[in-house]
Amino acid sequence: MAVTITIPTALRQFAGGSASVALDAEDVGALLRGLVEQHPSLGKQIFGDDGKLRSFVNIYVGDEDIRYLQGEATPVKDGETVSIIPAIAGGDL
């Protein structure tokens, strides 16, 4: 079962320049583990020291944030696209 995972521009330097990777996985957790296995330096970009997703890193299955689905247990289907999406914030004061 191949699922496509898209890599945002800023993270491609840790993924050998790939814009997307296709992997076999049944849920988001397995997909992310497979991705990090292929590109180990992506690991600390996506996960914090506690092993959880970093706060400015979001994972979408289709149009839905996995935080509002079943987290890393969210199932993924053949042909589906999972996106790693950054949140960006800031301010002057």
Partner 1 sequence: MGAHKGRPDAIIMVTHLLRLSPTVAQAIAAHAEATYPDECVGLLFGSLDGELKTALSAYAVENRWAGQVSLAESDDPSSRRDRFYLDPRDYLRADREARASGLEIVGCYHSHPDAPATPSERDRVGAQAIGGTSFAFVIQSVRAGAAAELASWLLVDSGARFTEEELQLWP
- Applying CB under 8 A, the residues found at the interface with partner 1 are 6, 8-10, 12-13, 19, 45, 54-58, 60, 63, 65, 83, 85-93
Q: How far is the CB of 72 from partner 1 (least distance, A)?
A: 17
**Size of the chain in residues:** 93
Contacts of 62 (CB under 8 A, 6+ apart): 80, 81
Shortest Cβ distance from residue 4 to partner 1 (Å)? 12
- Cβ of residue 76: shortest distance to partner 1, in angstroms? 16
Amino acid at 9: T
